[in-house]
Amino acid sequence: MRKHSKPCACSVESCTERFADKKSLDRHQATHGIGRDSLDCPDCTKKFTRADNLFRHQQNKHSKG
C-alpha cells in the first residue's frame, strides 16, 4: 500500500496537521487566523475565514423568508 506524502506542516506549535499541498495548508492555517483577513457577518459577531462559509451562515441564520 502506498503512503501519501504530506510535506506541508502547519506552523502553529500546538497543531500537528500536515497537508499534501500549500493550497490546503494555507486554507487550514486560516482557521488559526494566519494569512487571511477575517470576514465579519454584518448581522452578528461571527467571523469567517472563507466567503462561502459566511454566505452559508447568513442563509441559515439570518435569511428573512
Residue 3: the pLDDT is 74
Comparing 38 with 58, which gets the higher pLDDT? 58
Residue 53: the pLDDT is 92
Residue written as cell 451562515?
A: 57
Q: 3-state DSSP call for residue 48?
A: strand
pLDDT tens, residue by residue, 15-28: 999 999 999 999 88
Instruction: Give the mean model confidence (pLDDT) for residues 28-53.
Output: 87
In 1-65, DSSP assigns E strands to 8-9, 18-19, 39-40, 47-48
Mean pLDDT across the chain: 89
> Does the domain formed by 37-65 have CATH 3.30.160?
yes
For the whole model, what pTM was predicted?
0.58
Percent of the chain whose pLDDT exceeds 70: 95
Q: Whole-angstrom Cα distance, residue 39 to residue 58? A: 12
